[in-house]
Structure 1
Amino acid sequence: MTRHNMQINEIKEKKQKIIERFGPWTAGSIHLADQIDTFDEPHWDARLRRFVQIAADLAGKPLEKLRVLDLACLEGQYGIEFALHGADVLAIEGREANLEKVHFAKEVLSLDNLELALNDVRNLDEERHGRFDVVLCLGILYHLDAPDVMDFVERISKVCGKISIIDTHISLSDEASYTWKGKTYWGRYGKEHDTDATSEEKLAALWNSLDNPKAFLFTRASLCNLLRHVGFTSVYECLNPYEYHNPNWPLAAEGDRHVVWRDRITLVAIKGRSQPLLSSPITDASPEIDRPERPEYIEQLPCITGVSRRRSRGLRSRLSRFLPGPVKAVLRRIIQ
């Protein structure tokens, strides 16, 4: 049953006024009432399931007990989803046109537990905003330039009490670097605005940065390193629920065909406590190291490499007693 506190005609009229003033919805297809969505023809979003499931599985509390921060919320669908589940949500957005659409949905859906703030997310501050069980950093990192993007991730760490969900494009090449607080991070630069774009033109580009003409996109390794450097104790990549997209977007999907981004990942950064290692003093004393951009890969199984020929012959003899012939043949090629 849809929750709303307006008559159907009133919802339609207010939606139309929002569109006339700020343009149509471009991102969030939110169900408002019977046969009324923010998109005229409803769209599905597989990411919605992914983000909610991550929080439900990893935040350590029921959804209705969470305090959630939605950064650069755009038209607010993810923050609204958490609010509908009962979480207390703060959604921060830098453009009035986007935030007015969120405010409209909040009013229609009677979401008193959804707080909205018009602000630049680069101003995120623990003293001002407090701490959150779940921080949603969805589709914003790749719009920020260095060093702002590093500062922003550090600010996220300071307000994060448990988990941060980071959904972002990454760089597949390490063609550019930036050194921040003595650490070097790799990636590439991407364009956000023309260098001669006016403030009005930048503001009208609803899916781009607020002001910076270019952005710094991290490689996977550098983003993971940065998350550790700013205080997250572990980082995980979400593979299920599967994230996929409508190839006809912004038109409605046709059939079951879907596409995926080659360069987009969802990471979950955990704010925990580093644990001592009790069974291995030498490991406990060893520092955690950064992920290299181009690691050296193992060419042979470590347990086999370096085995003497005498031990190899003994191993083959023991294996030959009980392994099937095809398996013995494969192992024989490996250990020769």
Structure 2
Amino acid sequence: MQINEIKEKKQKIIERFGPWTAGSIHLADQIDTFDEPHWDARLRRFVQIAADLAGKPLEKLRVLDLACLEGQYGIEFALHGADVLAIEGREANLEKVHFAKEVLSLDNLELALNDVRNLDEERHGRFDVVLCLGILYHLDAPDVMDFVERISKVCGKISIIDTHISLSDEASYTWKGKTYWGRYGKEHDTDATSEEKLAALWNSLDNPKAFLFTRASLCNLLRHVGFTSVYECLNPYEYHNPNWPLAAEGDRHVVWRDRITLVAIKGRSQPLLSSPITDASPEIDRPERPEYIEQLPCIPEVSRRRSRGLRSRLSRFLPGPVKAVLRRIIQ
């Protein structure tokens, strides 16, 4: 596709569906989906997780991108050669993905206009990597629990879950005999029309509120639906783009206190051969408010500074033998 044709088609997309709001995707020389390209630290994080943990080269993976928005993460994996299915519930978002797919000639990227709550193993198959990025905190209970269970059923190896969590356990919901804690958040006004909900591109498709899990409850749910282990990604480090409202200013990196990236692994539970009593004991849920203890008391930094200052002053005035005795006492 020629440069002028790309620019013309991009402008038509913008006129019909509005400008891009999420993925800054490089389309051609000096042409990006955003007029002023910006970076996304999470892009590196998600690709590196898959490369490190999926057990296959990126080009051998089958990847599912759930609620893909404007498609950058699925497109990135497709550019690496993976077979990707991207599901999105809003036509306005999916048309932008269609455009990028056409420009970049990504025949290995399949797009589906659908509600991710309809995810089905029989219909969609199984995937090496499932991307559940920025969607959980838009779903209400019990849909969000059902959705996580559906993810487990289609996941063959790893699911990458990037989500806001609740920092309080003020609300609870019981699903399949298990109680999960968190809080409720607003998605739409209760009197919002279907058209207004559809126009809110970064919100839920229909539910007026959402249930946000605490960290502990989300980890427990992942285990309950069949994931054998769950890990939190700390590196590559995630911080905000300087072009975003919450941003990095110079060396000041702004991060979410309530957002985490978890990697849930679909493995096989292993027997414990050296300890029958441990092997027979049940795996317990993570408590919402664990009681923490420390192995060793720490020496406050201020105390160390004061000790160093005192030794320095004593060394100037006291005789050597006295200094030696006092040094041992201070230490």
Post-superposition Cα deviations, 1:56-102, rounded to whole Å, max 9, x if no partner, equal 00000000000000000000000000000000000000000000000
Q: Distance in 2 between matches of 1:146 and 1:235?
A: 22
Post-superposition Cα deviations, 1:86-137, rounded to whole Å, max 9, x if no partner, equal 0000000000000000000000000000000000000000000000000000
Q: Against the structure 1 CA distance between its residues 114 and 319, is the aligned structure 2 distance closer, same or farther, given a 3 Å change threshold? A: farther
CA contact (8 A) 1:132 1:159 kept: yes
Q: Distance in 2 between matches of 1:327 and 1:128?
A: 83
CA contact (8 A) 1:247 1:259 kept: no
TM-score (normalizing by structure 1): 0.87
Q: Distance in 1 between matches of 2:242 and 2:198?
A: 27
Q: Using the TM superposition, give the Cα deviation of residue 154 of structure 1 relative to its aligned residue in structure 2, in angstroms.
A: 0.1
CA contact (8 A) 2:231 2:262 kept: yes
Q: Using the TM superposition, give the Cα deviation of residue 335 of structure 1 relative to its aligned residue in structure 2, in angstroms.
A: 18
1:41 to 28, 36, 41: 36
Q: Against the structure 1 CA distance between its residues 7 and 174, is the aligned structure 2 distance closer, same or farther, given a 3 Å change threshold? A: same
Q: Against the structure 1 CA distance between its residues 237 and 252, is the aligned structure 2 distance closer, same or farther, given a 3 Å change threshold? A: closer
Q: Against the structure 1 CA distance between its residues 254 and 287, is the aligned structure 2 distance closer, same or farther, given a 3 Å change threshold? A: closer
CA contact (8 A) 2:232 2:260 kept: yes
Q: Against the structure 1 CA distance between its residues 291 and 109, is the aligned structure 2 distance closer, same or farther, given a 3 Å change threshold? A: same
Q: Using the TM superposition, give the Cα deviation of residue 247 of structure 1 relative to its aligned residue in structure 2, in angstroms.
A: 4.6
Q: Against the structure 1 CA distance between its residues 293 and 331, is the aligned structure 2 distance closer, same or farther, given a 3 Å change threshold? A: farther
Q: Against the structure 1 CA distance between its residues 231 and 312, is the aligned structure 2 distance closer, same or farther, given a 3 Å change threshold? A: farther
Q: Distance in 2 between matches of 1:211 and 1:196?
A: 11
Q: Against the structure 1 CA distance between its residues 270 and 329, is the aligned structure 2 distance closer, same or farther, given a 3 Å change threshold? A: farther
- Pick which of 297-306 and 99-108 moved more: 297-306
CA contact (8 A) 1:237 1:265 kept: yes
SS of 1:303's partner is coil
Q: Using the TM superposition, give the Cα deviation of residue 296 of structure 1 relative to its aligned residue in structure 2, in angstroms.
A: 1.4
CA contact (8 A) 1:177 1:186 kept: yes
SS of 1:307's partner is helix
Q: Distance in 2 between matches of 1:244 and 1:195?
A: 33
Q: Distance in 2 between matches of 1:293 and 1:160?
A: 27
CA contact (8 A) 1:163 1:269 kept: yes
1:165 to 151, 160, 181: 160
Q: Against the structure 1 CA distance between its residues 13 and 183, is the aligned structure 2 distance closer, same or farther, given a 3 Å change threshold? A: same
Q: Distance in 1 between matches of 2:81 and 2:304?
A: 65
CA contact (8 A) 2:248 2:254 kept: no
Q: Which residue of 2 aligns with 1:3?
A: none
Post-superposition Cα deviations, 1:264-285, rounded to whole Å, max 9, x if no partner, equal 0000000000000000000000
Q: Which residue of 2 aligns with 1:310?
A: 305
Q: Distance in 1 between matches of 2:317 and 2:55?
A: 47
SS of 2:180's partner is strand
Q: Using the TM superposition, give the Cα deviation of residue 297 of structure 1 relative to its aligned residue in structure 2, in angstroms.
A: 1.5
Q: Against the structure 1 CA distance between its residues 319 and 72, is the aligned structure 2 distance closer, same or farther, given a 3 Å change threshold? A: farther
Q: Against the structure 1 CA distance between its residues 317 and 91, is the aligned structure 2 distance closer, same or farther, given a 3 Å change threshold? A: same
TM-score (normalizing by structure 2): 0.88
CA contact (8 A) 1:233 1:274 kept: yes
- Identity, in percent, stands at 99
Q: Using the TM superposition, give the Cα deviation of residue 161 of structure 1 relative to its aligned residue in structure 2, in angstroms.
A: 0.1
- Pick which of 156-165 and 323-332 moved more: 323-332
CA contact (8 A) 2:240 2:246 kept: no
For residues 1-336 of structure 1, the aligned pairs below 5 Å read: 6-249=1-244, 255=250, 257-299=252-294
CA contact (8 A) 2:82 2:108 kept: yes
Post-superposition Cα deviations, 1:148-203, rounded to whole Å, max 9, x if no partner, equal 00000000000000000000000000000000000000000000000000000000
Q: Against the structure 1 CA distance between its residues 250 and 283, is the aligned structure 2 distance closer, same or farther, given a 3 Å change threshold? A: same
Q: Using the TM superposition, give the Cα deviation of residue 246 of structure 1 relative to its aligned residue in structure 2, in angstroms.
A: 2.0
CA contact (8 A) 1:41 1:252 kept: no
CA contact (8 A) 1:43 1:252 kept: no
CA contact (8 A) 1:43 1:253 kept: no
SS of 1:50's partner is helix
Q: Distance in 1 between matches of 2:135 and 2:167?
A: 18
Q: Distance in 2 between matches of 1:312 and 1:287?
A: 49
CA contact (8 A) 2:69 2:93 kept: yes
Q: Against the structure 1 CA distance between its residues 253 and 221, is the aligned structure 2 distance closer, same or farther, given a 3 Å change threshold? A: closer
Name stretches of at least 5 consecutive residues in structure 1 with no aligned partner: 1-5
Count how many residue pairs are aligned between Structure 1 and Structure 2.
331
Name stretches of at least 5 consecutive residues in structure 2 with no aligned partner: none
Q: Distance in 2 between matches of 1:262 and 1:14?
A: 39
SS of 1:164's partner is strand
Q: Using the TM superposition, give the Cα deviation of residue 241 of structure 1 relative to its aligned residue in structure 2, in angstroms.
A: 0.3
Post-superposition Cα deviations, 1:244-274, rounded to whole Å, max 9, x if no partner, equal 1025416997755431101000000000000
CA contact (8 A) 2:172 2:179 kept: yes
Q: Using the TM superposition, give the Cα deviation of residue 298 of structure 1 relative to its aligned residue in structure 2, in angstroms.
A: 2.0
